[in-house]
Amino acid sequence: MSDCIFCSIVARDIPSSTIYEDENILAFLDITQVTKGHTLVITKQHFRNLLEMDQAASATLFAKIPVIAKHLKDTLGATGVNLISNMEAAAGQTVFHTHIHLLPRFDEQDGLHIAFETKEPDFSALAQLADQLRLEKL
Ligand code: AMP
Ligand code: ZN
């Protein structure tokens, strides 16, 4: 896609700090480095985000994610890793080409703050919601 910054990275039209590449995916350091080793894993093929991908394409991407995450953790001496993929602007997506953020974690002051505002709906409300959301077949 001509006006996509990540397609330009795949095409080597703009530089990236690449750490892994194969025929389907590319992993490179995010220029903002929220935590040390903050890596983006992208598909070489342009998809807007995961919501646009079928099972085969997403399986190809996700097959490599645990290996790259473990490599980051082990190499940097991190104590954990967060995986984030923002889908659509409402979820914080700013680059509309599928990417997985891998964020090595070190301690509570490492720069990443994820806050879940928890609610406690009663069980019948949860059961009703599950009825609405149940998937018969994938
Ligand atoms: P998101 O907000 O989930 O769409 O994430 C997009 C990410 O892409 C941000 O964390 C940016 O810092 C990162 N980013 C944008 N341009 C580049 C670039 N040229 N090289 C590396 N990372 C980039
Ligand atoms: Zn693209």
Spans of the chain below 70 pLDDT:
none
Which domain covers residue 97, as residue numbers?
5-133
Number of domains in the chain: 1
Q: Is the CB of residue 4 below 6 angstroms from any atom belonging to ligand 1? A: no
Q: How far is the CA of 30 from the centre of ligand 1 (A)?
A: 6
High-pLDDT (> 90) share of the chain, % = 97
Write the CATH number for 28.
3.30.428.10
Residue 39 CA to residue 138 CA, distance in Å, equals 30
Asked if residue 138 belongs to a domain, the reply is no
Asked if residue 25 belongs to a domain, the reply is yes
Sign of CA dihedral 25, 27, 31, 34: positive
Q: What pLDDT does residue 46 have?
A: 98
Asked if residue 21 belongs to a domain, the reply is yes
Nearest-atom number in ligand 1 for the CA of 93 is: 4
pTM of the model: 0.97
Q: What pLDDT does residue 72 have?
A: 98
Q: How far is the CA of 81 from the centre of ligand 1 (A)?
A: 18
